[in-house]
Amino acid sequence: MQLITIFFICVSLFTIANALECYVCKNQEGNKEKCLNTIKTCEQGEDACLTEIRWGSTPYWNQGAKKQFYISKRCSTKKECEKIRRNNMADCSHIWYEDWKCSECCQGDRCNYYIISGSNKLASTLMTMLLPVIVLCSLQ
C-alpha cells in the first residue's frame, strides 16, 4: 500500500514538473505590463503557447479612430495553435491602413515573452529598410 502511495506522489510531482508555463493576457494594448508579468501553468495536454497580434481600430469604432496593436497570449494545444495560425494566415498582411491579425505558436516554458510583430519591432524594421534610401537621397 505504501509503495502505491509513493508511486502516485512521484507521478504527481513529475506531472507538475513537466507542466508548461506561458505568459497570458487578453486584448492588451501592446506587449507590456500584463502580457509580460502574468504567467500561467498550463493545463494537462496544453503543450504550446499561443500569441495573437491584432492591428485595428478600437472596439467602439468611429470614423477616424486610431488603429493600435492588441496582444493576446494563452496556453494551447499544438494542434489548436497550428489551426488558429493557419486560419489567421490570410489576414496576416501587416498593412498599416487595414485591420489584420497574426498568430504564433511556440513550445517551451515562457517562450511567448516576445511577440512577432510588436510596434517597436515594426518601426525598427521600417527604419532599417528606409535608412539606406534616405542616405542615398541625401548624397545626391
The position carrying cell 489576414 is 91
Higher pLDDT, 135 or 114: 114
Q: Average pLDDT in the 62-86 region?
A: 91
Q: Whole-model pTM?
A: 0.68
The kind and range of the H/E element at 134 are helix 119-139
The better pLDDT of the pair 81, 132 is held by 81
The helix/strand/coil state of 12 is helix
Q: 5-32 pLDDT, tens per residue?
A: 555 454 444 444 579 999 999 999 999 9
Burial string for 96-105 (b: 16+ CB within 10 Å, else e) reads: eeeebbbbbb
Q: Which three cell numbers stand for residue 110?
A: 515562457
Domain boundaries, the chain: 21-139
Distance separating alpha carbons of residues 80 and 48, to the nearest angstrom: 9
More confident residue, 67 or 84: 84
> Are 102 and 52 within 8 A, CB to CB?
yes
Cell of 88: 489567421
Higher confidence at residue 73 or residue 134? 73
Whether residue 86 has pLDDT greater than 90? yes
Give the 3-state secondary structure of residue 128: helix
CATH-assigned architecture of domain 21-139: Ribbon (2.10)
| 1/64 Cα distance (integer angstroms) | 71
The C-alpha R_g of the chain, in whole angstroms, comes to 21
Kindly tell me if the per-residue pLDDT of 138 is higher than 50.
Answer: yes
pLDDT digits (tens, 9 = 90+) for 99-111: 999 999 999 999 9
